[in-house]
């Protein structure tokens, strides 16, 4: 079992490639065989298999071979971890901007008071 930081390394690394993102986009719609994944990509089947291996080792995708067909599907847990990490950052800077906004409002209110008093 990977720790959370190592899992995020692998997930973000896996998503840092347009072909792998295209494969995740495809699999988000429905499970697909390796040849279905390869069809819209301008690359050889071995290249697709290599990208698939990266996606599987990150945990983003799982595949199962039944007979001669390997079917791939998305595994939502890994991408959720990445999503949570990004959401947490956004939460932090939004709270910071809110605090800054409150401070500017206070300054403005104080300025209005001073203005009406003088």
Judged by the rule CB under 8 A, the positions of this chain that interact with its own copies are 5, 8-10, 12-13, 15-18, 21, 24-25, 28-30, 74, 76, 79-80, 82-83, 85-87, 89-90, 92-93, 96
CB of 46 to its own copies, least distance (A): 22
Q: Which is nearer to its own copies, 6 or 109 (CB)?
A: 6
User: Phi first, then psi: what are they for 63, rounded to 5°?
Assistant: -135, 155
d(CA 20, CA 41): 10
Question: Please, which contacts does 87-94 make with residues 24 or more away whose CB atoms are closer than 8 Å?
Answer: none
CB of 32 to its own copies, least distance (A): 12
CB of 27 to its own copies, least distance (A): 8
Other Cβ atoms less than 10 A from the Cβ of 47: the count is: 13
Tokens standing for residue 13? 């690394």
């Amino acid at each position: 079992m990977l720790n959370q930081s190592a899992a995020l390394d692998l997930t973000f690394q896996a998503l840092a490639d347009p072909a792998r993102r295209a494969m995740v986009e495809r699999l988000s719609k429905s499970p697909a065989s390796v040849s279905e994944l390869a069809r819209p990509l301008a690359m050889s089947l071995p290249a697709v298999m290599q990208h698939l291996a990266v996606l599987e080792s990150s945990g983003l995708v799982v595949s199962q071979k039944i007979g001669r067909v390997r079917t791939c599907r998305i595994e939502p847990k890994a991408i959720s971890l990445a999503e949570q990490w990004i959401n947490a950052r956004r939460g932090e800077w939004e709270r910071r901007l809110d605090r800054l906004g409150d401070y500017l409002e206070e300054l403005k209110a104080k300025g209005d008071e001073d203005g009406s008093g003088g």
